A and B are shown apart, each in its own frame.
Chain A
């Protein structure tokens, strides 16, 4: 028996990293929101690695925070170790990564959701999306509850028809011992969604008490913790260490001997796995000349002995896994607590999505996260936030929030997915961002907080802080250009900094261009420095001055890029009727329906000649309208 259980503005299916952001965004924007999850014990579950951030991903978290999302705040509450990666490289690729206490991460996020106004949380499995005239009407749960909705956000993660593989054994299961969602896929297919199988995997969790850490290299966090959230100035905790160890020649032998029993090599799996997290058996086969591989051992939390064995994801049988692990340095007596497994699931071809993350042809149905073919908590959260925002904007009757490739990593992520598609679970990398130098984690707030404020997600406090940073930076840059110093005043400090001495006067701005000079070592020269400067302001000034030439170059590229992006393509173009387009281009354009000439030019199979034809066609169309 079906029954009407409630009416909502937004219904979110799934409460993982995407679902949580989507639900919180919708509710904060003032919409009556419901989030449904197969298990309330799996809210914001970190089913794989116990860390948030890293290269590219750390940038995403900072952007989520700048826009008013939750992930940054939640990891700041629950981190047990923090590291800034790539510190020896340029500021654009400095990347924050924190180890999380997984259970605490889940509890804190659940608390936040429970305490959010306008937001209901319910344990239930959605089996059907109700659609009338290509517009969503609501969802039906397995228990027959109908929730009516103006918009729906699919954030099903890896739960759709998920199947776990451990050696020759496989069974239907969600991640980490949860139920799979076995009905929704068929319903989505009926609605016209083009689903496919992707695959991912996770390594074993092992018992801390069975590990010989004396044979391993300890990995401590940074002395100074940089918070993820722009709202937090500092975090002071005792950090937990990780450890580094290696596989041995024996490990390789064991894997080679048993490779035929791996689910992957048996050909049991049909899903496509990501290249960037190959299983250990994959690494051994593909990089056969490498005798040993490094492994990190990371705590799963403060209140557990479970340790995550990074670098050893596998679909080998359980007993082989144990043998293999016991051949690793320091793991001679290891006890497995959860075996490694591969998991396969249904997801959508993201070319079916609009840049707003709404599914084409089904009005009001949005999607985010692994369902869209991505991988990773941060990628999921970023999409969840955007899907939540755009579901809300849709109800408001406003234009969607679409960040472009020059504005945010989030923009790169979504544009890649909806314009180029992906053949494997998509992971963010800094190398995917062509304007990396301006998309830094230190300026995410300057780029995005204004937008978040406009939408209604950013608190006054955060907005004020960003404004202060912005104004201070502007004023400080001017002051530095204005302030001249004489050799007499400067040379002592310069000598101490091993910098060449001045012969005539110069500005502080010019001094700061020198690689060896920073705010700290010209403190004595700079007598009129304002007292209230934020740490962030100083960093902005240093980066802007030191890398001015490179940044200018990138800004010029962005100007060109924007011209193409701003050249919008009206809706409803019949590409099949544009004579000059090559057939492949027609099909691709018809399928993807780009919003701008810029987006069109990034579609594989659309050549510069096709773009020319399209431009001429659009001009022709515009003039016909004028007549």
Chain B
């Protein structure tokens, strides 16, 4: 459903940067930011002079804790990009602090901007002239489609499974309530307050758990388990060094997945990669021969991402083929190194073997292609192709926003239950929870409930 309201989004590129800017637009911008902004003079932001920068802190009022030091500027409607009240918060870059601030904004009444929404508002409010309209439409449609794809990809993982399960539970409750209202005289199991209370409490718990994962940012804390593989001399160490050099990785030796492997941590554009370096296995040895097929498989299975390196200057060997076989159903990036030498690889034949895997060509010796590797890895994370094994992954603030809305409604429903309200009142809040959950998966359809009624209950004349 298309919505209005006050919107917020990160205006700067995501990832590691000096500063990050969050932009808020809409009639409640000032009131919302005022609730989380404070400075030494205890000034109220609602009294701010437009276009003046204010130094202060963003605080979490519930915990009375400073989140970040910021500069805030207020731009008064209609002299802004969207012709609405706009506030920009300049904070320290880095995904954690930006996300915390964004979440606070959502808590106090803003909602996540749809892709392209600032521009759309600018146009609808008459800020952008007609000649640019086509471009705006392209932007809105293209960006939204992409955003949608990203969201869908993310949703194929554990988050989606969890949310879908919750939706099922909620729809089941709704169907049970509705059937006892709309088919009042049928002999069906009556829905009891106790039953609803149990189910709501269960969903409440699940929501709390899921929201908690967002707070710690699993993907950041846990890191993405990455394995570099390839036969001897293909350039694994060079790759490692190239990545390490650039990102000042903290090198720690921990017990890895195999006795012989070392785990390194490095930070790529705000994401933590834990690289299990099979370079720990001596370069002269064939990995598979050394640790055996089963253990290699196990190593691969535990990895979130595999960086598979091929030597461009030699034709494929038996070991390459074995690895290709093993990474068939794994998330992997194929790196063809040594492109500075004469090419001996029939790229076409590899493409068939490693269908749908992304391929990067590098010459680590000449320092070419490392940036490409980083870019690919980051994209794979953003697009949800790569994710940690654990129940990641509320990295998407919009999802979190929606889940919090669902949680609030379930709490309202529990309150109605405890004050013994009639079923149709309890239903109101459960239905809102269902709609919020649907915003995560994009799958709330009224007919679902009716379908459930007819498939689960024997009703009719």
Contact = CB atoms under 8 A, between A and B. Distances in A.
A82 B342 CA distance: 92
B148 A609 contact: yes
Given A580-B138, A616-B124, A619-B124, A609 B145 contact: yes
Interface string A605-627: 00111011101110110011001
Interface core residue of B3, B124, B138, B422 (most chain A CB under 10 Å): B422
A90 B416 CA distance: 12
A310 B461 contact: yes
B130 A85 contact: no
Contacts of A311: 460-461
A579 B458 contact: no
Interface stretch (A25-33, A425-433, A500-508): A425-433
Contacts of B150: none
B130 A624 contact: yes
Contact of B137 (A95, A274, A283, A580): A580
B321 interface: no
A484 to B, nearest CB: 25
B140 A612 contact: yes
B2 A294 contact: no
Contact of B450 (A89, A293, A431, A579): A431
B428 A554 contact: yes
A290 interface: yes
Given A90-B423, A283-B458, A286-B458, A616 B140 contact: yes
A275 B454 contact: yes
B461 A612 contact: no
B459 A276 contact: yes
B461 A430 contact: no
Given A580-B137, A597-B2, A55 B458 contact: no
B136 interface: yes
A547 B421 CA distance: 10
B424 interface: yes
B458 A613 contact: no
B1 A601 contact: yes
Interface in A569-620: 578-582, 597, 601, 604, 607-609, 611-613, 615-617, 619-620
Interface residues of B, number: 48
B187 A550 contact: no
Contacts of B1: 564, 601, 608
Contacts of A553: 428
Interface string A278-290: 1000010011001
Given A553-B428, A616-B123, A432 B140 contact: no
A203 to B, nearest CB: 7
Interface stretch (B81-89, B175-183, B228-236): B175-183
Contact of A430 (B140, B144, B181): B181
Nearest to B2: A611
Contacts of A623: 130
A115 interface: no
A563 interface: yes
Contact of A612 (B144, B187, B449, B454): B144
A248 interface: no
Contacts of A627: 130
B181 A579 contact: no
Interface core residue of A49, A203, A310, A607 (most chain B CB under 10 Å): A607
A275 B459 CA distance: 9
A608 B114 contact: yes
Contact of B2 (A93, A203, A604, A612): A612
Nearest to B178: A431
A113 B386 CA distance: 71
A101 to B, nearest CB: 19
A601 B2 contact: yes
Contact of B461 (A90, A203, A615): A203
A89 B422 contact: yes
A47 B228 CA distance: 75
Contacts of B148: 607, 609
Contacts of B460: 274-278, 283, 311
B134 interface: yes
B140 A90 contact: no
Interface in B412-459: 419-425, 428, 445-446, 449-450, 453-454, 458-459
Interface core residue of A85, A580, A624 (most chain B CB under 10 Å): A580
Interface in A262-276: 274-276
B404 to A, nearest CB: 18
A525 B400 CA distance: 51
A429 B138 CA distance: 41
Contact of A56 (B141, B182, B445): B182
Main secondary structure of the interface of B (DSSP, over half): helix
A89 B178 CA distance: 11
A436 interface: yes
A203 B460 CA distance: 12
Contacts of A293: 187, 458
A16 B4 CA distance: 45
Given A92-B424, A431-B182, A580-B137, A608 B461 contact: no
Interface string A55-93: 110000000000000000000000000000110111011
B134 to A, nearest CB: 7
Contact of A616 (B133, B145, B446, B450): B133
B429 to A, nearest CB: 9
B461 A86 contact: no
Interface in A345-365: none
Nearest to A86: B184
A431 to B, nearest CB: 4
B428 to A, nearest CB: 6
Contacts of A290: 458
Nearest to A202: B461
B87 to A, nearest CB: 23
A616 B181 contact: no
B116 interface: yes
Interface in A544-576: 547, 550, 553-554, 560, 563-564
Nearest to A580: B141
Contacts of A383: none
A313 interface: yes
Contacts of B116: 612
A579 B137 contact: yes
A437 interface: yes
A561 B174 CA distance: 22
A48 B460 CA distance: 13
Nearest to B446: A432
Contacts of B117: 612
Contacts of B144: 607-609, 612
Contact of A580 (B140, B420, B423): B140
B127 to A, nearest CB: 11
Given A278-B460, A431-B178, A619-B124, A547 B134 contact: no
Given A90-B421, A616-B120, A55 B184 contact: yes
A49 B181 contact: no
Contacts of B140: 580, 609, 612-613, 616
A535 B183 CA distance: 28
B374 interface: no
Contacts of B428: 437, 550, 553-554
Interface of B: 1-4, 114, 116-117, 120, 123-124, 130, 133-134, 136-138, 140-141, 144-145, 148, 174, 178, 181-187, 419-425, 428, 445-446, 449-450, 453-454, 458-461
9 contacts: A203-B461, A436-B424, A582-B141, A607-B148, A612-B117, A612-B120, A613-B140, A616-B120, A619-B124
List the 3 closest A-B pairs by CB distance, nearest first.
Answer: A580-B141, A609-B144, A90-B422
